[in-house]
Amino acid sequence: MLTYILRRLAGTLPTLLGVSILVFVIFNVVGDDPVYLYLGKNATAADVESMRRELGLDKPLVVQYLTSMKQLVTFDLGFSMSAREPISRMFLQGVGPSVAVTLPALVLYSGVSIVLGLACAYWRGTLLDKLIVGGATVGMALSYVAVMIFAQYFLAFVPSQHGWVSFPISGYERGFPDCLPYILLPNLISAFVALGYDTRFFRAVAVEEMNKEYVRTAKAYGAGTRKILFKHVLKNILIPIIARVVVALPLMIAGSFLLESFFVIPGLGYKLLHAIDSADYPVIRAFTMLIALLVVVANALADILNSLVDPRVKLS
């Protein structure tokens, strides 16, 4: 197992190298000139030259790439042009709030959707199955923005106007438990939006498993519903569950632009959105590379967890 884990981690290196080259080409070769994006078209030649030296864009492309790789390895990602602070500090400051508004939601909707998916698979075709699938489909059809506006208005703004207990409309306090009032509503919104998608997915996986011969045999021998679902079926669908859940976390963190901006939560999505608005090239490039790194590591972690769940999984 240790050999497999080491080989799987080593297998991520070519992927990381390819991702780093792709990100570098997008930002340094085919993209717009970040100097003019930041300074504007009316910048003087002296300002442009000074900014190029500050960003290291006056050096050959090979040197620029090696420098960016050195920054990534040492986690010395340079300085933000707009915030004038180290990018590594910005990243570390944003990770906590981003995880706080995504990880609880991931745990909540994953657990609920797994239970609902198993229930739909076991009682497939019944009224319960139709109600759950119909509700999940309606949830999938709702706009993320509409859900945020509705929840913020009816669960935060309206109760506060009447002196009732309500969620904060926006803001964030660092540290536990001070952050709890500010992250509860964003987590509920994230869980509600994702619940329909995952319920449909886990239902499809569970239905396929319920058609296996061993399930029919277990039913014939009088095995109870709980035993069939949670001891047999759930155990055999853990691989797609792990793959979906583990990979979802970095993708949720990377895609939390709307949620963090809407509730003014200073997470990675919020900081990256502001960097895009201000054409802060170093921050955009560094955050893009770090988020890509998180996704690659999450995929490797999913494979490792799959090998622990199912010893038949091997590196091919």
d(CA 292, CA 276): 17
d(CA 115, CA 108): 11
d(CA 82, CA 280): 6
Q: What angle do CA 142, 145, 147 make, to 5 degrees?
A: 55
| DSSP for residue 270 | H
The CATH class that applies to domain 98-309 reads mainly alpha
pTM, two decimal places:
0.79
d(CA 274, CA 186): 19
Given a cut of 90, is residue 246 above it in pLDDT? no
Render pLDDT for 12-36 as a digit per residue (tens, 0 to 9): 888 888 888 888 888 777 666 677 7
Render pLDDT for 282-294 as a digit per residue (tens, 0 to 9): 888 888 888 888 8
Token pair of 86 as six digits: 């180290």
pLDDT given at position 292: 82
Furthest C-alpha separation in the chain? 83
Given a cut of 90, is residue 112 above it in pLDDT? yes
Render pLDDT for 72-92 as a digit per residue (tens, 0 to 9): 888 888 888 777 788 888 888
Place of tokens 């042009």: 81
Q: Is 79 helix (H, G, I), strand (E, B) or coil?
A: strand
